[in-house]
Amino acid sequence: MGVLYVISDRQSASTAIALASKERGDVSILFIGEARGLVDDREHRKTLDHISRIYCLGDITNGMSQSEGVEVVDYSGWVELIEENDRIVSWA
């Protein structure tokens, strides 16, 4: 059990990622909404190297690209992530 950061705001995502990088133990990040575009952003991808698990809410068939190291989940996958983690940090 760990902590899940749910990030939806693209502009302040770097702050949330910095906070997540200071966490100890199992840390996951789920990108939703406009923050999903950060999955393909090289600058942000470098800062995510130390994060245990990275997820993106979406559908590859609807224009999302599959990025290495990022698992695409649907809404039921999001619920599973919530159930798997002790703490949820929502960054909107």
Q: What tens digit of pLDDT does each residue of 3-30 get?
A: 999 999 888 888 888 898 888 889 999 9
CB 5 within 8 A of CB 27: yes
Please indicate, yes or no, whether the overall pTM of this predicted structure exceeds 0.85: no
Confidence of residue 92 (pLDDT cuts 50, 70, 90): confident
- Answer whether residue 77 shows pLDDT above 90: yes
Nearest CA among 47, 33, 42 for reference residue 78: 33
